[in-house]
Amino acid sequence: MEKAINRQKLLLDHLRPISSAKQNFDASLSASSCIAGDSSAYQRSCVYGDDVVIVAAYRTALCKSKRGGFKDTYPDDLLAPVLRALIEKTNLNPSEVGDIVVGTVLAPGSQRASECRMAAFYAGFPETVPIRTVNRQCSSGLQAIADVAAAIKAGFIDIGIGAGLESMTINPMTWEGSVNPRVKDFSHAQNCLLPMGVTSENVAHRFNVTRQEQDQAAVESHLRAAAATASGKFNDEIIPINTKIVDPKSGEEKPVTIYVDDGIRPNATLSELAKLKPVFKKNGTTTAGNSSQVSDGAGAVLLMKRSVAVCKGLPVLGVFRTFAAVGVDPAIMGIGPVVAIPAAVKAAGLELDDIDLFEINEAFASQFVYCRKKLDLDPEKINVNGGAIALGHPLGATGARCVATMLHEMKRRGKDCRFGVVSMCIGTGMGAAAVFERGDAVDDISNARKVEANRFLSKDAQ
């Protein structure tokens, strides 16, 4: 302790004004013992430097399951290229990554965990870098990013990757085994088993979302996605994947490079969608045309403490601010964003009007339209480059895809776009949302925590 006090005295001598006599020096500036110990007086924790930031975010193209560009691609071969891109494009030493978390839904847990570990090796990560999977259904990719952000904030790691992966070609949505008969005694438990399309019909019926509103939302999704593709907006976020297409009749393999989302219909019209029949309910309103596409794809996001990014000279694409997951009635699971978005925005100290851009997953047009109307959001702020109806919804990858798409769009918009929200509904009745800030919109002063005056040189000596 005496050593620390001597250091403080030396520092105070340097701070003393030359013109001041020693006896007239402010008595409040005197050396004192530090409760936190000898070394703590020289440890500082800068709130701004402790921000969790995103320095890179990439995805594959999204392709129609069973008949799209990735129908003959192994899941690990979807994940590996986006993991590798994070390292190659930032020149980061892969051994510095503290953890990789992959959101994924449909594959058996142990099998997908092994595939993700294999993908990390394909991507060039050493055996010392751990990896795990997380499953919160449609929000799994966003949950993976939130888990990594939380680990960085807690000090467990300084650098991590949140990713998402789904091959709905290889792992279709099916229930395996029998259902516990107890489910009949709990209405909410029963509703967890409802087909997602039925929950869409429930939302449309309960909240009076018309068929025309749903079809109009679907048309807008396709037209916006087509415009974004044509103008090259997705080029910065999509990593081309070298793979193969197998002819189902001859078995002939053809090498291909996939770099364009293949579910977009540039010529979609209301009259065309109006011809489609309801899928889940007679006289219903949910069709294949106003629902998200079943897809294959992957995405990955590189996060780190801001001070680490600064030391490495990496540009900050975005700042992770807050995350919220909420529960809602499983029978109308699509309303999840209506509850999750305000929760996440409030946690960030913001109002809905402060948000400049939204990526809300279009699981079904019924729930998307309802959420937009209920929250009274400006349509020009939501899914400006299209959504899952046009691009596709590979369940575990969607969160990572949405984050990549939004952050790159925020970067393009510059000072006119500071805050963005990614949100989605979740099967069995939940919603999730996260708030992000554009990377170059932050400065030390506006994010510095106010420190009350005291006599201690260590913040821990309270």
- Give the active site residues: 138, 393, 425
| 253-258 and 131-134 strand pairing | unpaired
The whole-angstrom separation of Cα 214 and Cα 209 is 7
Q: What angle do CA 300, 352, 232 make, to 5 degrees?
A: 40
Backbone angles phi, psi at 162, to 5 degrees: -105, 125
Residue written as token pair 């794809």: 297
| 253-258 and 241-246 strand pairing | antiparallel
CA 286 → CA 279, 314, 326, 392, distances in Å?
6, 45, 25, 16
Tell me which residue of 119, 123, 147, 163 sits closest to 300, measured CA to CA.
Answer: 163
CA 206 → CA 200, 280, 288, 351, 431, distances in Å?
10, 16, 21, 27, 18
* Maximum pairwise Cα distance, the chain: 96
CB 160 within 8 A of CB 52: no
The whole-angstrom separation of Cα 290 and Cα 285 is 9
**Bridge partners of residue 103, in order along the sequence:** 134, 164
The whole-angstrom separation of Cα 246 and Cα 263 is 19
Between the CA atoms of 138, 140, 146 and 147, what dihedral angle is there, to the nearest 10 degrees? 150
Residues 6+ apart with CB under 8 A from 167: 65, 70, 73, 74, 75, 78, 107, 296, 394
Cα 312 → chain centroid: 23
- Give the DSSP letter of residue 27: T
CB 142 within 8 A of CB 150: no
Rg (Cα) of the chain, in Å, rounded?
Answer: 25
The whole-angstrom separation of Cα 37 and Cα 324 is 37
